[in-house]
Amino acid sequence: MPSPIAHSVSGYVLAKFLPLAKSRMSRRRKWEMQIFYPVFVASVADLDFIPQLITGESFHRGLTHSLIFTLGFSAIIAIALSYWWKFSYKQLVWITLILYGSHLVLDFFTEGRGIPLFSPFTDTFFASPISLFPGVHYSRGLWHPSHLIPLVFESIYSVLVVWGVRRWQKSKFRKKIDSIKNSMN
C-alpha cells in the first residue's frame, strides 16, 4: 500500500475537481470541506493499521478496504455532513465514494497482496498485475529503513500531481471551460 502521503495528496488533488464549493463560504468551512474532509476520507481506510500495531493481529487491509465498507461509510458520513454543512446529501455520497474509492484504487495498483474488495463475502485479495507504487510494509514496524523507498517515490508523486493541478488551474484551457460552463448557467 502507499503511505498516508500518497493517499492524502490524492484526496487533496481530487477535491479540486469535485463540486465542493458553495458561493458563500467562511474560510473555516472552506478548509473543512476542501482540505480536511478530502484528505481524511482518502486516508481513513488505513487507520486499521493502528490496532495491528497495538495487538500484533492482522487487521490491516481488511474490511475497510472493501466495496461494502466504502458504500456504508459514504452513506453514513454523508448524513452527518449534509446536516452539518447544509449540503446536498446525494452529492456528498458521490463525493465521498470518489474520495474513499481513490484509496482502494491506489492500493490496488500498489505492490503487495492487494485488497479484499468483496470482503466479508470472500477473503480473496485483488491486485493489479502492474504495480504503480512500491509498497509500505507496516508489519516491519513504523521506522523500518525499507520505508524510505516508498517515501521518496511518493514525495516525488505528490510534488508532480500538485504541480500538475496548479498548472491546470492556471491554464487557458481551464479558463475556457469555466467560461463555457458559466455561459450555460
Our CB check for Zn ion shows the closer of 33 and 45 to be 45
Residues 39, 70: contact at Cβ < 8 Å? no
CA angle 94, 155, 151 (to 5 degrees): 105
User: Measured between alpha carbons, how far is residue 90 from residues 46, 48, 81 in Å?
Assistant: 25, 27, 11
Candidates 15, 33, 46, 74: give the one binding Zn ion (CB under 5 A).
Answer: 46
Our CB check for Zn ion shows the closer of 1 and 20 to be 1
Helix, strand, or coil (residue 180): helix
**DSSP 8-state secondary structure symbol assigned to residue 36:** I
Stretch that binds Zn ion, among 89-97, 107-115, 132-140, 168-176 (CB under 5 A): 107-115
Stretch that binds Zn ion, among 14-22, 44-52, 94-102, 116-124 (CB under 5 A): 44-52
The interface with Zn ion within residues 141-180 (CB under 5 A) comprises none
Question: End-to-end CA distance of the chain, in Å?
Answer: 42
Our CB check for Zn ion shows the closer of 53 and 79 to be 53
* Total of chain residues touching Zn ion, rule CB under 5 A: 4
107 binds Zn ion (CB under 5 A): yes
Alpha-carbon gap, residue 82 to 90, rounded angstroms: 9
Our CB check for Zn ion shows the closer of 123 and 172 to be 123
Residues that bind Zn ion (CB under 5 A): 1, 45-46, 107
